[in-house]
Amino acid sequence: MPGASLLALHLPHAHRTAMSAPPDRIETERLWMRPTRAADAEATHYWQVDPEVVRFLGGIQHPTVESFRAFLERVEVKYDAYAAAGLPWVALVVFEKGVERPIGTALCKPAPEGEGDGRRDSEEIEIGWHLARQAWGRGFATELGRAMRDRAFELGGVPHVNAFVDRENTASARVAERCGLRRVEPSPRFYGGADRYRMTRAEWEARGGSGSG
């Protein structure tokens, strides 16, 4: 994610929403999540240095807790600015209910486009998830994906939602499909033309809307 100096909050009007005190805590059947803070660096760093977890996330970007804390400080500023602007985009730290140690991250946010100092938010909204290795194989990613999908449609007012998946990441591709997203034509604007999965509002409503499979 770009740093605080690269914040781009000028989304199309249709993506803005009049939020009234959105909950800091979001719950699903087995999980709960809250906004990521810089203070989470030490507790969440362990999966940032697991090569298997970050394999499709650009590899190990933050080898030390200190560098990761600096990154999370920028994340915190960016998402606080979204909230202050009345935008529902979030980067969340995820916990299994009844377990103290965090297990992952969930995202609902504008997809970035451009490179370097020209990198900024696009009009496209994406959802994302990644989990520590001990949380794999339990259906948690699908649970997170559906929660973020529902947030985008309920609070974001978007016509469709995207998930961008590395071509070799077959596990995340299956998660996107289980969330109801279907593979569409990729775009070179996003993540170097990564595979693109999309669900329209009409498709979401046809499946039953919020809480649907």
Task: Kindly calculate the radius of gyration of the chain based on its CA atoms and give it in whole angstroms.
Answer: 16
CA 16/CA 19 separation, integer angstroms:
9
Give the total residue count for the chain. 213
Model pLDDT for residues 3-55, shown as the tens digit of each residue: 222 233 334 333 444 444 456 789 999 999 999 999 999 999 999 999 999 99
Residue 30 per-residue DSSP state? S
- Name the pTM for this structure: 0.88
Helix, strand, coil percentages (3-state) for the chain, rounded to 5, are: 35, 25, 40
* Domain locations in the chain as residue ranges: 23-206
Instruction: Give the rounded percent of residues in the chain with a pLDDT score beyond 70.
Output: 89
Write the CA distances from 195 to 7, 113, 114, 139, integer angstroms.
Answer: 25, 15, 17, 21
Q: Which residues of the chain have pLDDT under 70?
A: 1-23
Q: Are 124 and 159 in contact (CB under 8 A)?
A: no
CATH class of the domain at 23-206: alpha beta
Burial label for 74, CB within 10 Å (0-12, 13-18, 19+), is middle
